């Protein structure tokens, strides 16, 4: 039988405790710490995803409210004619004589609304006249947007030639909704109507 003196016995006990501590660390503590680190990463990732979802929900709510307001504005002006409005606004701003042409543009129709667009060209107008005219369009009772705006400066003159396309939406009367297969193709332009020579 091998005899172990007290010093060797203490060494074995210390070594056994150290080995047990290492086993506990690698088998229990280390996996637990890695699991907690992964959990923290998942929590951080889910927190960012939640922030994105909340931001999208806020944006959706804002757009839905904006859409509701626009729909109310469209429904509040039945019988609105974009072509007549633009011509009347040109008369009010004293630029009707500068209109080279105005022509309606056929656009796609949805189940509830029809988009009405007009392309027009203004020749030899001043910058102030253009700004006043665009201001009148922007502040119309009916929501109107400028889809395209091209501005060219006349040579050796302080005047502009402007081509713009304005559009608005008109509600379809009940019973006049167009089936999807029979809706008009977009951007088929009708023959332009010149109004520059009108008083």
3-state secondary structure 107-158: EEECCCEEEEEEEEEEEEECHHHHHHHHHHHHCCCCCCEEEEEEEEECCCCC
Q: CA–CA separation, 47 vs 56, rounded Å? A: 14
Q: Which residue has the tokens 């107008």?
A: 125
The pLDDT of residue 191 is 47
- pLDDT tens, position by position, 112-125: 777 788 999 999 99
pLDDT > 50? residue 180:
no
Instruction: Say what the pLDDT of residue 105 is.
Output: 80
pLDDT at 177 > cutoff 70: no
């Amino acid at each position: 039988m091998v005899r172990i003196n007290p010093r060797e016995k203490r060494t074995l006990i210390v070594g056994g405790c150290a080995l047990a501590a290492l086993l506990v660390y690698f088998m229990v503590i280390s996996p637990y710490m890695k699991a907690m680190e992964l959990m923290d990463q998942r929590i951080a990732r889910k927190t960012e995803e939640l922030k994105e979802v909340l931001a999208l929900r806020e944006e959706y709510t804002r757009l839905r409210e904006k859409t509701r307001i626009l729909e109310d504005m469209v429904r509040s002006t039945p019988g609105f004619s974009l072509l007549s409005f633009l011509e009347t606004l040109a008369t009010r701003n004293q630029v009707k004589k500068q209109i080279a042409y105005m022509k309606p543009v056929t656009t796609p129709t949805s189940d509830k609304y029809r988009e009405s667009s007009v392309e027009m060209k203004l020749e030899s107008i001043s910058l102030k006249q253009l700004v006043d005219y665009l201001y009148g369009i922007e502040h119309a009772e009916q929501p109107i947007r400028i889809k395209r705006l091209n501005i060219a400066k006349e040579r050796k003159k302080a005047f502009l030639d402007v081509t713009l396309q304005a559009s608005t939406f008109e509600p379809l009367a009940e019973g006049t909704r167009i089936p999807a297969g029979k809706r008009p193709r977009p951007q088929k332009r009708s023959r332009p109507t010149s109004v520059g020579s009108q008083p």
